[in-house]
Structure 1
Amino acid sequence: MSVPMALFVTVLLLIGSGFFVAAEFALVAAKRHRMEKAAAEGRRGAGSALAGMRELSLMLAGAQLGITVCTLGLGSVSKPAISHELDPLLRTLGLPGALSYGVAFAVAMIVVVFLHMVIGEMAPKSWAIAHPERSAMLLSPPFRAVVKAVRPLIRLLNAVSNALVRLCRVTPRDELASVHNREQLTHLVAESERLGLISETDSELLTRSLTEPETPVRDVRVPAAEIVWVDGAAGLDEILRVAAARDRTRLLVREHDTVLGSVHARDALVARARGRAAAARALARPVPALTEDATVADAIDLLRRRRSSFAVVRDASGRLTGMVSLDDLLARFLQPQPQPQPQHAAWPGRGPTHPRAPGPASGARPGAVVRQVITREDGGVDGHVVNDRFRPPDPRGRL
């Protein structure tokens, strides 16, 4: 083969090697959700890239086959051509024949390896990693066409390699796992804090939100001995008296050892205003139950589905062991520092029913004060008065 032809083939092989390397790293580094968004927007090449990511094992096998062929081509064409041109030059310098051939071969090897590593491997890899999605959309259509042309051979090679992997008791996968587990996310949060990308408070909140949901309910429940009860036969005055004395808006209702549900002080006020003589059992609303083995995540999910603010906790035998509040559960991983929690539940010693409005010295505007005082659960100013004062609102009153 003539030297110009050998150089031309060398350039083609280097370009081919770089193409397969870039396609391989682009498919591995590209984010699935970004490619799905690009495909939904109709961007050219995004659909082909997504298809390649779905059969990643086959695509990687095709890339390895292409890289291997290009490497072998460089070894069989480029190195002999360079060595052949250097050998006569070295002989004219006075080197013996055997020595000149060895030196020419070594120099040719160094040149070809250098070109292959830099042009055929490292530069394409860096480019693909720097722009993974763009690289995947650009290279996937021709890359998949090449793989399709030699698909039977690649399937055979991939099947043999998967069989060897299974011998090591590892299950081969066709797609790259794109979801991080809890440990990986926790590590990412810690690294982000170390690098100064997020504050210490944000890092604490994120870490707790990753770890606390798996905490068993038994570790966060309020013991049964601390629950504020009202008897099922209690009248409206008794309900309001206990609610005002304990600064609670909701009370659990029980009869003997049976939990009937929960009663809201507002319901008792409305019933009394309408002249009804209702007992606590008649006003009780159902309360969901949890086992002690349930996690915080399970408890939050149940309370949201049942639209309840708290639930009772029972052991394996069905015995009541305590209760949990949605406010307390969320506070475990949403509050950066332990703080008194706003209480709408039925146990003592946890702070006021609502946050109080800031005083005049705080500089808050009246509208901002009202928004801070009146919570979503109040349902309005009248509801706040009922919850906060345990009496019906007076139309002439002032808040």
Structure 2
Amino acid sequence: MAAIIDILVLILLIIANGFFSMAEFALVSSRKMRLKQLVSENRSGAGAALSLLEDQTSFLSSIQIGITLIGVCTGAYGGATFSGSLEPLFRSIPIIGHYSAAISLTFIILLITYFSIVIGELVPKRIGLANPERIACTVAPVFILITRIFSPFSYLTSGLTNIIVKLFGISPVTSPDVIEEEIHMLLEEGTESGIIDETEQDMVESVFEFGDSQIADLMIPRPDIVALNLNDPITKNFEIIERTGHTRYPIYQDTLDSIIGIISIRDLWLIAHKNTEVDFSKIMQDILVVPDNMKALDLIRRFKTATSPLAVIIDEYGSVVGLITLHDLLEALVGDLSRVDQDDEEPLITRRHDGSWLIDGRTSPEELYEITGIDCSEESSKGAFRTMAGFILYKMGSIPATGDYFSYDGNEYEVVDMDGHRIDKILITRLPSPENL
């Protein structure tokens, strides 16, 4: 009967060790965001689990004290209780009989250690990792009490731990609960498992890229701005409107750097429909003016209170450098949007039959890499250019002429079309590798 009680006590000690191990892994593996959600749902124990995570040093110290005490008690109790029963068996063996006491004690400790590792460590930890938040909510109230009981010991161990860590020159670093890289990894895992659609993943990732973008990377550059001069004859401005077909036009006076407003074709049509004299100044609306170093997210906030879906971008000297619309911002989030009046628009990047690439000078290095795999990001990261036309100027150091070319990173870049001083078209051809020559 006594032997059965001894075995039950030993089993209870191993189970207690497993309980502490399971609780430790469940609490440490629990996600704070998930626990906060459970708190909002009034889940029992969620608040206690969250409070333990907020002060991990105290509860980890308490758990470690408990595990250590149980481990010492298990080994001491098991060795003292059961080694005597095995000693006669080993004493009967002539070669090792003289060491029977030490051998029986060692055997019992090894046997107890084996079951402690399996039943008291590995299995409970697997259980704790299987559903950490649910288990954490269940055991947290118990460990709140255990932490309070062990608080004097926890204080001493935590204090000594902090002193030793400081001696090694390690300072505590507070890291955010979730970082952007983890979100990207979760999106990839969700897409691979089928929980998240691939289109949804692309849209969410484009939001992060959008948040880091400056409006200068998304704008319509100054040479491509179509605007109307308030001082020009109305017939000339109507010719520009008929040729371009936009829905809104900036209005400037004398020079493009003096943009004073914006007109809507709808308002213009209403006046023309009434057969009244067309006066742009009477239907002109205020236009939003923003600096070129503004972030795209900041511009969206400005658009919320603006009366126009179009903004003029100026540099530090007050000169107009570009134009941007809500449509441009939306395309940066969801990709190119096809429109009826742009069906015949020439693509920025075209694959030719010989494998070369014909690209528009306005193409960004990021767009080029995404479609072709040709990487100029190392150069563009220096901030010297934002477009492939800028890349050509950066590498050549002067305004090129049609037919000029150079080689870079295994590719030949040739200027095939110039629009005045602006680089319009670039031909990129892969050079043959040395072993194929």
TM-score when normalising by structure 2:
0.68
Q: Deviations over 1:229-266 (max 9, x none)?
A: 12245788776654343111111122233222322111
Q: Which residue of 1 aligns with 2:35?
A: 35
Q: Does structure 1 residue 310 correspond to structure 2 residue 313?
A: no
Q: Which residue of 1 aligns with 2:244?
A: 246
Q: Which residue of 2 aligns with 1:178?
A: 177
Return the alpha-carbon distance in structure 1 between the equivalents of residues 148 and 279 of structure 2: 77
Q: Which residue of 1 aligns with 2:433?
A: none
2:17·2:71 contact (CA, 8 Å) conserved in 1? yes
Q: Which residue of 1 aligns with 2:73?
A: 73
Return the alpha-carbon distance in structure 2 between the equivalents of residues 252 and 334 of structure 1: 26
Matches within 5 A, 1:134-153: 134-153=134-153
Structure 1 residues 260 and 161: CA distance shift in structure 2, 3 A: farther
Return the alpha-carbon distance in structure 2 between the equivalents of residues 28 and 106 of structure 1: 34
Return the alpha-carbon distance in structure 1 between the equivalents of residues 210 and 346 of structure 2: 20
Larger displacement relative to structure 2 (197-206 or 304-313): 197-206
Q: Structure with the greater relative contact order (CA < 8 A, sep ≥ 6): 1 or 2?
A: 1
Q: Which amino acid aligns with 1:316?
A: E
Higher strand share: 2
Return the alpha-carbon distance in structure 2 between the equivalents of residues 157 and 31 of structure 1: 26
Q: Which residue of 2 aligns with 1:319?
A: 319
Structure 1 residues 84 and 203: CA distance shift in structure 2, 3 A: same
Structure 2 unmatched runs, 5+ = 348-437
Q: Does structure 1 residue 332 correspond to structure 2 residue 339?
A: no
What is the CA distance between 1:111 and its match in structure 2?
1.4
Return the alpha-carbon distance in structure 1 between the equivalents of residues 274 and 164 of structure 2: 79
Q: What is the SS of the residue equivalent to 1:263?
A: strand
Return the alpha-carbon distance in structure 1 between the equivalents of residues 135 and 269 of structure 2: 67
2:91·2:98 contact (CA, 8 Å) conserved in 1? no
What is the CA distance between 1:95 and its match in structure 2?
5.2
Q: Which residue of 1 aligns with 2:258?
A: 258
Q: Which residue of 2 aligns with 1:155?
A: 155
Structure 1 residues 85 and 292: CA distance shift in structure 2, 3 A: farther
Q: Deviations over 1:345-397 (max 9, x none)?
A: xxx9699xxxxxxxxxxxxxxxxxxxxxxxxxxxxxxxxxxxxxxxxxxxxxx
2:286·2:307 contact (CA, 8 Å) conserved in 1? no
Name the count of aligned residue pairs: 342
Matches within 5 A, 1:199-214: 201-214=199-212
What is the CA distance between 1:183 and its match in structure 2?
2.4
Q: What is the SS of the residue equivalent to 2:311?
A: strand
Larger displacement relative to structure 2 (223-232 or 276-285): 276-285
Return the alpha-carbon distance in structure 1 between the equivalents of residues 67 and 48 of structure 2: 21
1:328·1:341 contact (CA, 8 Å) conserved in 2? no
2:38·2:46 contact (CA, 8 Å) conserved in 1? yes
TM-score when normalising by structure 1:
0.74
What is the CA distance between 1:301 and its match in structure 2?
3.4
1:26·1:135 contact (CA, 8 Å) conserved in 2? yes
Matches within 5 A, 1:325-364: 325-335=325-335, 338=336, 340=338
1:215·1:296 contact (CA, 8 Å) conserved in 2? yes
2:251·2:259 contact (CA, 8 Å) conserved in 1? yes
2:18·2:124 contact (CA, 8 Å) conserved in 1? yes
Q: Which residue of 1 aligns with 2:222?
A: 224
Q: What is the SS of the residue equivalent to 1:211?
A: helix
Q: Does structure 1 residue 44 correspond to structure 2 residue 44?
A: yes
Q: Deviations over 1:26-70 (max 9, x none)?
A: 222223333233333333222212222222232222222221221
Structure 1 residues 223 and 142: CA distance shift in structure 2, 3 A: same
Q: What is the SS of the residue equivalent to 1:286?
A: coil
Q: What is the SS of the residue equivalent to 2:323?
A: strand
What is the CA distance between 1:342 and its match in structure 2?
7.3
Matches within 5 A, 1:230-309: 230-232=228-230, 242-256=240-254, 257-273=257-273, 277=277, 279-306=279-306, 308-309=308-309
Q: What is the SS of the residue equivalent to 1:24?
A: helix
Percent identity, aligned pairs only, is 24
Larger displacement relative to structure 2 (106-115 or 202-211): 202-211
Return the alpha-carbon distance in structure 2 between the equivalents of residues 152 and 305 of structure 1: 57
2:78·2:109 contact (CA, 8 Å) conserved in 1? no
Larger displacement relative to structure 2 (123-132 or 299-308): 299-308
Coordinate RMSD, CA, aligned: 3.2
Return the alpha-carbon distance in structure 2 between the equivalents of residues 30 and 22 of structure 1: 12
Structure 1 unmatched runs, 5+ = 352-399
Q: Deviations over 1:266-298 (max 9, x none)?
A: 122334456765633343333333333333333
Structure 1 residues 329 and 27: CA distance shift in structure 2, 3 A: same
Structure 1 residues 101 and 199: CA distance shift in structure 2, 3 A: same
Q: Which amino acid aligns with 1:329?
A: L
Q: What is the SS of the residue equivalent to 1:184?
A: helix
Q: Which amino acid aligns with 1:178?
A: D
Larger displacement relative to structure 2 (136-145 or 102-111): 102-111
Matches within 5 A, 1:97-116: 97-116=97-116
Q: What is the SS of the residue equivalent to 1:297?
A: helix
